[in-house]
Amino acid sequence: MGILHGVRRMAVVRTKPPRKRRYTEQDLLQMPNDGRKYELVNGRIQVVPTGGRHGWIGFELSKKVGEYIQGRFRGFDSSTGFRMAGGNIRSPDLSLMAVSRLPQGKPPVDFIDGAPDLAVEIVSPSENMNDLLQKVGEYFESGSREVWLLFPDRKQVYRFKAPLEIEILNENDILTGGELLPEFQVRVGELFE
């Protein structure tokens, strides 16, 4: 009879872990208007950290940049969703998109296809650099020409002209608008004062 004589065989049932729900653009549109900023990233809805200082910096930069867009661009705040090439919906804190890239030169009612020509992110202390670099890559893959990461705690701006072409500007350096906004310039420290 063998060693297992008298031992009952038990059936082992292996269950798969529950599949996580993949959220859609429609789910993102249904998020509450609760003062938080949401993005759709890889089928998950993520809360993007913001606060008073964050909003104030974005507002002040919008005023400064707004003087130089001269009808060539439409400006958008952080409540605007842009549909990335990979399907994610990103909402930069400030963005400019060429009028020529918008349907009939006007913003659509829902999400905008493609990334803005200029995407600006104001970085919160809790944000992860790997996530930020993934976002920068998505912006360029989806049509951005420049991406600015503003670091208020360090009083720095990381200016990307391509996914791997970065210029790090410190408090006393001058941030220019480059080819997009040739007349625009501001001392980096002024963005955070």
Tokens of 72: 């060539």
CB burial class (10 A; 0-12, 13-18, 19+) of residue 111? Answer: middle
Phi then psi dihedrals of residue 36, to 5 deg = -95, 160
pLDDT in tens, the chain (193 residues): 555 555 555 555 566 666 678 999 999 989 988 888 898 999 999 988 788 999 999 999 999 999 999 899 999 999 999 999 999 999 999 999 999 999 999 999 999 999 999 999 999 988 999 999 999 999 999 999 999 999 999 999 999 999 889 999 999 999 999 999 999 999 999 999 9
**Main-chain dihedrals φ then ψ at residue 168, nearest 5 degrees:** -100, 120
